[in-house]
Amino acid sequence: MSAQETEARGARTGSVVVVGSLHYDIMVDAPARPRKGETVAGASWSPKFGGKGGNQALAARGQVVPTAMVGAVGSDDFGAALLAGLDRGGVDRSAVATLPGVGSGMSVAIFDAEGDYGAVIVSGSNLAIRANQAHDELLRSAKVLILQNEIPEAINEDVARRARQFGVKTILNAAPARAFETALPGYVDILIVNAIEAEMLGSTPVRSLADAEGAAELLVSRFGAVVVTAGGDGLAFQDEAGGKVSLRSIPVKVQSTHGAGDMFVGTLAARLALGDDMLTALSVANQQAAKLVSTPESERGR
């Protein structure tokens, strides 16, 4: 299917709306991540567009599906760079607020020689998002809504509740994991978590694909459907109707794991918005995440 045909199909079947975080990422390459009290000499650093919400919006738009971002940036250089990143990716940012006197969200990610990383985020303007930025007209036009845990849960609950009224499918990427303090789980159609997040939400430890299958089965009692990703072992899906899918990971040479989960989430949402069945959508998302993992950071779009 050509890009033009996919674009037309996306326009007919509906769009993706992402409500979530935007972070200006500073990427640091080092031989190892520092331990407490240790200073490590790094090799290089570079800036990058980021935030789980922003990354997922770009991933969804990468499937040639109309995608809108709802979020907030500060009136600073980081904010300007984040808005420019959305523009380059073709994401509708009309619902992204620019807030004076508030710093934009940012993060510092330190990569080790194996391509794994640790990060610190400063939420900044992401904590000042207002639920009414995701206005009813925008939600009504959507097919799929994506939420994450890098903005206040009360915002997610409000938006998900209204999305349910309009028949919009809501995906929650519960990252970083946290205990739920609202009725948000009741408005989630698909929960997506990695191994650590699944365990923090009450599953048994996930150390294999079989463990991921067990975690999905356990968590589906609280959500309509669950995807548990298990890194290099693959992923497992289960829904409350008994549908199950297990996919092994695609063997690749790992260059960087940064953003792989966001690529998976955004791609999955886009494929579902296009009308793909769950197996097809999961397979395409798995392929796109593997492709990203095998791409060096220096060769990815900034």
Tell me whether residue 159 is in a domain: yes
pLDDT greater than 90 at residue 88: yes
Q: 3-state DSSP call for residue 242? A: coil
Q: Which of 62-76, 90-104, 106-120, 167-181 has the lowest mean pLDDT?
A: 106-120
CA distances from 232 to 5, 114, 253, 295 (A): 33, 14, 11, 16
Tell me whether residue 40 is in a domain: no
pLDDT level of residue 13 (50, 70, 90 thresholds): very low
What is the percent of the chain with per-residue pLDDT over 70, rounded to a whole number?
Answer: 94
Q: Which domain holds residue 184?
A: 3-21+50-104+127-188+250-299
Query: Per-residue pLDDT tens for 243-253?
Result: 999 999 888 88
Token readout for 123 is 């939420």
Amino acid letter, 41: A
pLDDT level of residue 111 (50, 70, 90 thresholds): confident
Number of domains in the chain: 1
Query: Per-residue pLDDT tens for 32-46?
Result: 999 899 999 999 999
CA distance 198 to 193: 6
DSSP strand pairing (44-50 vs 23-29)? antiparallel
Tell me whether residue 235 is in a domain: no
User: Minimal CA–CA distance to 82: which of 24, 4, 159?
Assistant: 24
CA distance 201 to 246: 20
Token readout for 205 is 């430890």
- For residues 282-288, give the mean pLDDT: 97
Which residue is associated with the tokens 């990203």?
Answer: 292
Mean pLDDT in the chain?
A: 92
What is the percent of the chain with per-residue pLDDT over 90, rounded to a whole number?
Answer: 80
The CATH code of the domain that includes 57 is 3.40.1190.20
CA distance 260 to 295: 11
Tell me whether residue 227 is in a domain: no
Tell me whether residue 265 is in a domain: yes
CA distances from 14 to 92, 96, 153, 232, 287 (A): 14, 20, 25, 32, 23
pLDDT value at residue 3: 56
User: Minimal CA–CA distance to 18: which of 66, 75, 73?
Assistant: 66
Tell me whether residue 80 is in a domain: yes
pLDDT value at residue 115: 75
Tell me whether residue 217 is in a domain: no
User: Is 52 in contact with 175 (CB distance < 8 Å)?
Assistant: yes
Tell me whether residue 214 is in a domain: no
The DSSP output letter for 95 is E
